[in-house]
Chains A and B, each alone.
Chain A
Amino acid sequence: MTSANLSLAEKIKNHKKYIIRTLWTAIIGFVLMAFYYIVGNVLMLSRSINYAKMYNQTAEVLQAEKYKTVVRIMGTDQLGFAIIMFIAIAFAFQGFAYVFDQKKIDFFLSQPTTRGQRLRQNYYNAITTFVFIHVLVCALAFIIAAAFGALNKYVLMICLIEMLRSLIFFFAIYNISVLAILLSGTLPVAMLLNVFFLGVTAVLGYEFIGFKRIFFSTYYYDTPEVIYASPLYDRLSVFNSMNKSLDMEGVKNTIVEILPGTIDTLVVAIVILILIDISSRYRKAEHAGKTVCYLPFRWLLKVTCCVIAGMAGGLLFHSIYDYVWNNNMYMGMLVAMLISTVLAAFVIEAILENNFRKFAKGGAQTVMALALVALIFVIFRGDLLGYDSYVPDAKKVSSCALIDDSSTFQVYYENGYPYINTQGDNMYLTNVNDIIEISKIGMKTLKENHIRTANGEYSDSGRYMHVLYRLKNGKKVYRTICIPYDIDSALISRVVDSEEYKHGAFNVFHDEKVRKEIDNLKDKKLTYSNSIVSKSVNEFDYAMLSDAYRKDIEENYSYELVSNSLPIGSITFDASSTYQRLMNTTTTIGYAVIDLNVYENYTNTISYLKKCGIYSENTLDVKYIDSVVVTNLYPGHDANTEPLNYLYSEDFENIEKTYTDEASIKEICDNAVYNGFYDVWYNYRDNSDNQYMIEFILKDPKDDFGTKNTYCSFRMGKVPDFVKADTN
C-alpha cells in the first residue's frame, strides 16, 4: 500500500508521531502547564479554604478569595507566561534549528517542499500544538475551578482574555526566536541573539530613561515611561489584576490596561514575521556553521551591542559617583562609556568570530559604535534635543496640572494600592498660557539650580513641583520645575487661586469613595494637632468635615495666604479599610491616611473641629512650656545672607542655650513659628530663619504619643537680641 491510499486516521496518527518526534518539548510544556494551571489551582484553592477555616473568614470573604485565586493563577497576574515563553522558544529551536546542521538541512530540504511551505508547516505545527495544550490545560483548570466553586463569569472572562493575550505573547516570542535562528548559523549564537532580541528594546529604553534622569534637570522622576517593541516588557508591565474588582468594571479595566501592551506585542510579532519571511528567502543552506549569516545584520548587531554596553558603562559610572557628582564627572562618564564600548566590541567580535584572538577585528564597526556613543553623550549633555527647554505650543495643549508630592490623602486598598486619584488625574488647568509662563520660569530656575549644585553651590530658590501638559493628541508631557519664591505673585495667584487648581490640588473634592465607604471603616479616628496639642475623636461625620474643608478651600485658600503663612494645625484621619473588616482579621492590611492642613482663616473647618471638641487654639502658650533650648547652627555667621555651600562645607560647633525664665520663653514664643506642617507654596527662604532651631520642652505631653517636645524656627528677622548674644 502506498501513501496515496492512506486514510485520514492514518494521516493523523502519522502526524502525531511526527509532532512527538520533532516537538517533544510539547510534552514537557504540557506537564509544566498542567502543573501550573491545574495543580496550581487545586493547591491554591485548597489553601484558601484552609485559611478561611483557620481564621474564621466569612463565606463572603472565602468566595472572594477563591475568585481571586483563580485570577491569580490564570489571569493577568499569572506566572504561566514564563512557561509559555519557554515553550515558544523551545518550539522555535526545535522547528528551525535544522538550519544549523548540514545533515538536517539535507534531510528536510531534499524533500518535496519549498522553503516557504516548510516555514508555514513549522508555524502550523508549533501554533496548533501550543493552542491544543494550552486550551486543554486551561479547560481542565476551569473545570477544577468550577468544581471548587471558584469560577464566575467575570473570572472566566478575565482568564479567557488572558488566554488570548498568552497566544499573542507566544506568537511574538516564537517569532523572535525564529528570527534569531534564521539570522544566525550556530545554536549558541542563535541563543545569544534570542536573548538580545528579547531584551534589546527594553534595555535601550531603560538606558535612555537613565540618561534623561542624569542629564535633564526637568525630568520628572515619576514620568510614566513606556517602552515600545518589547513583548517581554509588555507582559511584565501589566501585573496587577489583583487590584481590580471582579465585576464588569474590573473586566473592562483589565482590557483597557492590557490593550496597549498587547497591541505593541502583536505589532512586534507581525513586523518580525515579515522580517522572517524576508530573511528566509535569503537564507542559504550554506549559512549553517556561520555565526551571523548576513553582513549588514552583523554590523547592526555589533554596533547596537556596543552602544548598549557604552551607555551601560556611563550609567554604572554615574551610579558609583552619584553622591559626589559634579561637573567634572561628566568627562569621566564619557571616558567610561567609550571604554565600555571598546571592551564590548572586543567581546562581541570574539564571539562572532568564534576565536578570541580575533577580538580586534571589525574596527570600522567599533569606530561607528564609538561615534554613536559619543553622539548620544553630546546630545544629552548639550541637550541638543531641547528637553530642558521644551514647552509645548499653547494651542496644542488641552489642559495642564501642577503636581506636588506634599499632600497626604491616601486611602489604601487591599494590597496597598491607593485608589484615590492624584493631582495628575484630577487637575485640569485651562489657563495654559499662565502655566507655560510659570513653566518657563520654573525650568530656567531649575536648570540654574542644577548647574549650581553640580558646581557644589547650594541654594533654596523655590518650590519644586511638576507640570503636566495634556496635549490635544492624547500625549502627556511631564516636566519638573522650580517655581522661584520671587515669581510674580499675580501670575501665580491666577493659577493657585483658580477653582480648577483648588479642585485638582485637594483630594477632598474627589473623596466620593471615602464618603461612601466611611460606614464600613472601623477604628476610624479624627485627630487635630497644632504645634503642641493633639486631640482625637472616634465619632464624627466625615462628610461634614469634608464639606467644611471644601468650603474653606473655595472661600479662603489663596496664594497670598499660603505663601506667607504656615498652617496653624493639621487634621489627620485614619481608619482600617473595608477589606480588613471583611476579612475579620486583626492584621492591618489596609487603612486610610488623610492629612489636611488648617489655616487660621479656615473658619468652617475650625468650627466643625470645635464641634467635635478637638480644636485647640494655636498658641505657643508659656503655660505649657517648661523650658526652651535654642541652638545656633552656625555660630559667628549669618546663614540667611552667607552662601549655603560655604556653610555646608564647614563643620560648625553648635551653640545651645536653654531658657527657663518665663520672660525669655514668652519672647521666644512670640517670635517663633511652627513649621512642622509643610506646605509647598510657603516661602521658607524669606519667612523663616535658617540659623536657629528652637526646641520647646513641654511640662506635660499634649498628645496621645506622649511627645514632650516640639520644634520651631524664628520668623525671619525676629531673632531676639538676647538669643543672638547668648549663642554667638
Chain B
Amino acid sequence: MIELLDIIKRFDDITAVNHVSLNVADSQVFGLVGTNGAGKSTLLRMVVGIIRPDSGIVCVDNRPVYDNPDVKKDIFFISDDQYFLPNSTPGEMADYYEEIYSSFDKLRFFKLCNGFGLDTERRISSFSKGMKKQVSILLGICAGTKYLICDETFDGLDPVVRQGVKSILAAEMTDRGLTPIISSHNLRELEDICDHIGLLHQGGVILSEDLGDMKLRMQKVQCVFPSDDDEKKALEGLEVMVHDKRGRLHTITIRGERSEIESAFKRGNPIFFEILPLSLEEIFISETEVVGYDIRKFILG
C-alpha cells in the first residue's frame, strides 16, 4: 500500500502540492487525474522517491520511499518523457534493467517486444514517440516490481497497443498483484481500467474515491419543471454541482445517491425527469468547476 500523509511540496514561491493525503491500495489501478499544473507529476515523483516532500511523508508498504533503495526495488517509474541510455537498443535497456531489478524477466521482455512488433536490436532513438512509450511500458512490466507508476504514459499509444497494454496490466494484476498508478488527461482511458480515482486541483486533492462509488454518489439529471417554485422544491437540500438550463430543459449534476435524488425530485413534480449515466470526464469537470476551474472561463474569459 502506498500512503501519502499530508504532503507539501513547494518550488520557490509556488506550492505544487498542498497538504495532500492519499492512499493507494494494493492490486488496484489508481488513476490520478487533475488539471494542468495540478501537481500530478510532482506527486508521482514523490511517490517514487525522486523528489523529497518539504513536509509530510510518502510510505510504500509502511516504509519511507525517499533515498530508500529497498523500497524502490518494488517500484518502476515511467515518466511522461522517457529517457534511454545514449544510442541504446531495447535489448540493451533490458540488459541494463536486468542489473537493477532482480526480478527483471528479459525473456518475457523479448517476447513482448516481438508481440508488439518492436525490434530489440534497433536503436531506440530511431523509434517513434509511441514506440518509445511501448518500450518503456514493456520494460516496466517486465521489471517485475509490485508498483508500476505511469505518468501520462498511455497518451500517444494507438488504440490497439493501448488495449494490448491494458490486457497485460490486467493479467499482471491477477497473476502477481501488480498495482499500477496511472496519471492521465485522457479520462476515458482511465475510466476503462481504473478502480480508484484521485482528483488533483491546484496542488490539493479534490476527491479520492473508488470509481464505482464516485458514479453512485453523483448523478446527472435531465428534467423539465412546471414552474420555478417546483424547481426550488425539487432542489431543496440537494448539493447541486452543475446546473445548466436550455429553455425549460434543466441538466443538473447533483452529488448524492440515486434514490435520494429521485425522491427529492418527486417534490417538484417534474414534467420530464431522467437520470443519465455520468462519465469520468463529466465528474472531473463537475468537481473542478466546484472549486473554480470552470471550462467556460476559458471560452468567455
CB of A3 within 8 Å of the partner chain: yes
Residues of chain B within 8 A of A114, CB atoms compared:
67-69
Instruction: Please state if A17 and B96 are interface contacts (CB–CB under 8 Å).
Output: yes
Q: How far is the CA of A154 from the CA of B70 in the complex (A)?
A: 52
CB of B115 within 8 Å of the partner chain: no
Q: How far is the CA of A649 from the CA of B52 in the complex (A)?
A: 75
Given contacts A110-B49, A286-B51, whether A115 and B70 have CB atoms under 8 Å apart is: no
- B57-87: CB near A (< 8 Å → 1, else 0) gives 0000000000111111101110101110111
Q: How far is the CA of A285 from the CA of B144 in the complex (A)?
A: 26
Given contacts A21-B87, A21-B92, A106-B77, whether A14 and B101 have CB atoms under 8 Å apart is: no
CB of B100 within 8 Å of the partner chain: yes
- B133-155: CB near A (< 8 Å → 1, else 0) gives 00000000000100001000000
Instruction: Please state if B72 and A110 are interface contacts (CB–CB under 8 Å).
Output: yes
Residues of chain B within 8 A of A105, CB atoms compared:
50
Instruction: Please state if B52 and A17 are interface contacts (CB–CB under 8 Å).
Output: no
Given contacts A3-B101, A22-B85, A102-B81, whether A284 and B51 have CB atoms under 8 Å apart is: yes
Q: How far is the CA of A14 from the CA of B48 in the complex (A)?
A: 25
Q: How far is the CA of A114 from the CA of B73 in the complex (A)?
A: 11
**Distance (Å) between the CB of A326 and the closest chain B CB?**
53
B34-63 with Cβ < 8 A to chain A: 45, 48-52
**Distance (Å) between the CB of A290 and the closest chain B CB?**
9
Total number of B residues with any Cβ neighbor in A under 8 Å: 41
CB of B162 within 8 Å of the partner chain: no
Instruction: Please state if B107 and A17 are interface contacts (CB–CB under 8 Å).
Output: no
**Distance (Å) between the CB of A28 and the closest chain B CB?**
14
CB of B258 within 8 Å of the partner chain: no
**Distance (Å) between the CB of B281 and the closest chain A CB?**
28
Residue of B nearest to A106 (CB): B79
Q: How far is the CA of A285 from the CA of B67 in the complex (A)?
A: 12
Contact of B50 among A11, A18, A285 (CB under 8 A): A285
Residues of chain A within 8 A of B282, CB atoms compared:
none
Residues of chain B within 8 A of A115, CB atoms compared:
67
Q: How far is the CA of A231 from the CA of B176 in the complex (A)?
A: 55
B90-126 with Cβ < 8 A to chain A: 92, 95-107
Residue of B nearest to A24 (CB): B86
Given contacts A110-B77, A117-B69, whether A2 and B96 have CB atoms under 8 Å apart is: no
Residue of A nearest to B92 (CB): A17
Residue of A nearest to B46 (CB): A285
Contact of A113 among B52, B72, B81, B85 (CB under 8 A): B72
Instruction: Please state if A2 and B77 are interface contacts (CB–CB under 8 Å).
Output: no
Residues of chain B within 8 A of A4, CB atoms compared:
102-103
Contact of B85 among A2, A21, A106 (CB under 8 A): A21
Residues of chain B within 8 A of A21, CB atoms compared:
85-88, 92, 96
CB of A472 within 8 Å of the partner chain: no
**Distance (Å) between the CB of A288 and the closest chain B CB?**
11
Residues of chain A within 8 A of B76, CB atoms compared:
110
CB of B298 within 8 Å of the partner chain: no
- A364-376: CB near B (< 8 Å → 1, else 0) gives 0000000000000
Given contacts A15-B99, A106-B45, whether A286 and B11 have CB atoms under 8 Å apart is: yes
Instruction: Please state if B144 and A2 are interface contacts (CB–CB under 8 Å).
Output: yes
Instruction: Please state if A103 and B81 are interface contacts (CB–CB under 8 Å).
Output: yes
CB of A109 within 8 Å of the partner chain: yes
CB of A147 within 8 Å of the partner chain: no
**Distance (Å) between the CB of B40 and the closest chain A CB?**
14
Residue of A nearest to B84 (CB): A107
Residues of chain A within 8 A of B88, CB atoms compared:
21
A69-116 with Cβ < 8 A to chain B: 101-107, 109-116
Residues of chain A within 8 A of B73, CB atoms compared:
112
Residues of chain B within 8 A of A3, CB atoms compared:
97-104, 106
Instruction: Please state if A17 and B103 are interface contacts (CB–CB under 8 Å).
Output: no
CB of A1 within 8 Å of the partner chain: yes
CB of A6 within 8 Å of the partner chain: yes
Q: How far is the CA of A190 from the CA of B100 in the complex (A)?
A: 29
Contact of B75 among A17, A107, A110, A286 (CB under 8 A): A110
Q: How far is the CA of A112 from the CA of B45 in the complex (A)?
A: 14
Contact of A2 among B71, B87, B105 (CB under 8 A): B105
Instruction: Please state if B69 and A113 are interface contacts (CB–CB under 8 Å).
Output: yes
Instruction: Please state if B51 and A22 are interface contacts (CB–CB under 8 Å).
Output: no
Instruction: Please state if A14 and B83 are interface contacts (CB–CB under 8 Å).
Output: no
Instruction: Please state if A112 and B100 are interface contacts (CB–CB under 8 Å).
Output: yes
Instruction: Please state if B104 and A2 are interface contacts (CB–CB under 8 Å).
Output: yes
Instruction: Please state if B99 and A11 are interface contacts (CB–CB under 8 Å).
Output: yes
Residue of A nearest to B77 (CB): A110
**Distance (Å) between the CB of B68 and the closest chain A CB?**
8
A337-358 with Cβ < 8 A to chain B: none
Residue of A nearest to B68 (CB): A114
Given contacts A6-B98, A113-B72, whether A107 and B83 have CB atoms under 8 Å apart is: yes
Instruction: Please state if A284 and B52 are interface contacts (CB–CB under 8 Å).
Output: yes
Residues of chain B within 8 A of A101, CB atoms compared:
83
Given contacts A109-B50, A113-B72, whether A22 and B103 have CB atoms under 8 Å apart is: no
Residues of chain A within 8 A of B77, CB atoms compared:
106, 110
Residues of chain B within 8 A of A103, CB atoms compared:
79, 81-83
Instruction: Please state if B49 and A1 are interface contacts (CB–CB under 8 Å).
Output: no
Instruction: Please state if B45 and A14 are interface contacts (CB–CB under 8 Å).
Output: no
Q: How far is the CA of A428 from the CA of B11 in the complex (A)?
A: 66
Q: How far is the CA of A106 from the CA of B68 in the complex (A)?
A: 15
Residues of chain A within 8 A of B144, CB atoms compared:
2
Residue of A nearest to B97 (CB): A3
**Distance (Å) between the CB of A563 and the closest chain B CB?**
75
A17-37 with Cβ < 8 A to chain B: 17-18, 21-22, 24
Q: How far is the CA of A565 from the CA of B104 in the complex (A)?
A: 96
Q: How far is the CA of A170 from the CA of B97 in the complex (A)?
A: 30
Residues of chain A within 8 A of B92, CB atoms compared:
17, 21
Given contacts A2-B144, A110-B49, whether A18 and B103 have CB atoms under 8 Å apart is: no
- A281-313: CB near B (< 8 Å → 1, else 0) gives 000111000000000000000000000000000
Given contacts A106-B45, A115-B67, A285-B51, whether A1 and B75 have CB atoms under 8 Å apart is: no
Instruction: Please state if A109 and B49 are interface contacts (CB–CB under 8 Å).
Output: yes
7 tightest Cβ-Cβ pairs between the two chains A and B? A110-B77, A112-B72, A106-B79, A107-B83, A3-B98, A112-B69, A21-B85
**Other 17 A-B pairs with CB < 8 A, given A3-B103, A18-B85, A18-B99:** A1-B107, A2-B98, A3-B104, A13-B95, A14-B98, A14-B99, A17-B95, A21-B96, A24-B86, A106-B45, A107-B83, A110-B48, A110-B149, A114-B68, A116-B67, A284-B51, A285-B51
The 24 sampled A-B contact pairs (Cβ below 8 Å) are A2-B104, A2-B144, A3-B99, A3-B104, A6-B99, A13-B95, A14-B99, A17-B96, A18-B85, A18-B96, A22-B86, A102-B81, A104-B83, A106-B45, A106-B81, A107-B83, A110-B77, A111-B72, A111-B100, A112-B101, A114-B69, A116-B67, A284-B52, A285-B50
